[in-house]
Structure 1
Amino acid sequence: MQASDTFTAVIQAHLQSRAESDSLFAETLKKANKNIKDCIIYILNTVKSSGRSGFADEEVFGMAVHYYDEDDIKPGAKVECKAVVNHSILAMDKAIADRSQEKVETKKVVKKQPVIVNQSSLF
């Protein structure tokens, strides 16, 4: 089994992003008995055993986080398959950067001027 470089990179980018915002997960990600290759094998085996062929990004990311959180999870046997990624790494990097920027910026409040309408009286 050879997961595409893009699939692996998307999972790795998500894990790194989460580690940057969650110091507890940052320590979890450093576990000596865990690595991205086995994480990908675990995800592919979980997908295969589900019988489904499509998953939302958050479901797949959740599988990756679960793999790192639990010490007794075994990745399973290598799986021959093709994983399709529906977005690019550049788009994901931009989305992560945009989310980080949104947290830093404060929202400006814009006061709207009341609209005065001259209306004729019917009486």
Structure 2
Amino acid sequence: MKASNAFKETIKTYLDKLAAEDELFAETYKKENKNLDECCNYVMQCAKNGGSQGYADEEVFGWAVHYYDEDDVKNIKAVSGKVVINRSVKLTEEEKAQAKEKAMDMAVAEAKEDAKKALVGTVELTEEDLKDVKQKAIDKVVDEEKDKLTRKPKTTKTEGVKPVQQLGLF
């Protein structure tokens, strides 16, 4: 399994920045016998051998630097595993408002579902009550459908097209 592009890009960004700030590492980073894919495999191998579920960024980046520093670290094979990269995401105020609204909608839906579950079996209705509730539900659906059909259509450019009412269809 190859390292994901996001993982490789995160390692590369760190190493590029370090090379720009540290002349000695910049020379090490140019070694022809080293490459980013093998570096990422080495980092994943170190993580797997460490046996932990997670590592600090400094430790992971330290393994990447070690790979380039040490000439005897080579021919590293791909390691199977999953990498989670910590990233901060900047949201616009509109995106924050949308996320908040979506979260509220989800919370309300969850609360409604919980309330339904809590009420199951606790409310007893007579046959007359059930009949009344069913009729109210039917009436509501019928009213909503009537409302949809009688709403004024949106104004659009329809040159040469007569409204349905003028054609005598309704």
TM normalised by structure 1 equals: 0.68
- Cα shift at 1:75: 4.9
Report the identity percentage: 50
Relative contact order (C-alpha < 8 Å, sep 6+): which is higher? Answer: 1
CA contact (8 A) 1:39 1:75 kept: no
Partner of 1:42: 42
> What amino acid does structure 2 have at the position aligned with 1:81?
G
Partner of 1:32: 32
Structure with bigger gyration radius: 2
Distance 2:18 2:51 in 1: 28
Distance 2:64 2:45 in 1: 12
Partner of 1:66: 66
Distance 1:40 1:75, change over 3 A: farther
- Number of matched pairs: 90
Q: How does 1:72-91 map to 2 (within 5 A)?
A: 72-87=72-87
Runs ≥4 in structure 1, deviation > 2 angstroms?
Answer: 74-77
- Cα shift at 1:79: 1.1
> What amino acid does structure 1 have at the position aligned with 2:73?
I
Distance 1:3 1:33 in 2: 19
What value does the CA root-mean-square deviation take over the aligned residues? Answer: 1.6
Partner of 1:14: 14
Distance 2:37 2:76 in 1: 12
CA contact (8 A) 2:18 2:25 kept: yes
> What amino acid does structure 2 have at the position aligned with 1:35?
N
Distance 1:37 1:6 in 2: 12
Q: What secondary structure is seen at the aligned counterpart in 1 of 2:54?
A: coil
Q: Deviations over 1:13-69 (max 9, x none)?
A: 000000001111101000000000000000111111111110011110000000000
- Residue ranges of structure 1 left out of the alignment (5+ in a row): 92-123
Distance 2:75 2:53 in 1: 19
Partner of 1:52: 52
Distance 1:82 1:13, change over 3 A: same
Distance 2:26 2:10 in 1: 17
Partner of 1:103: none
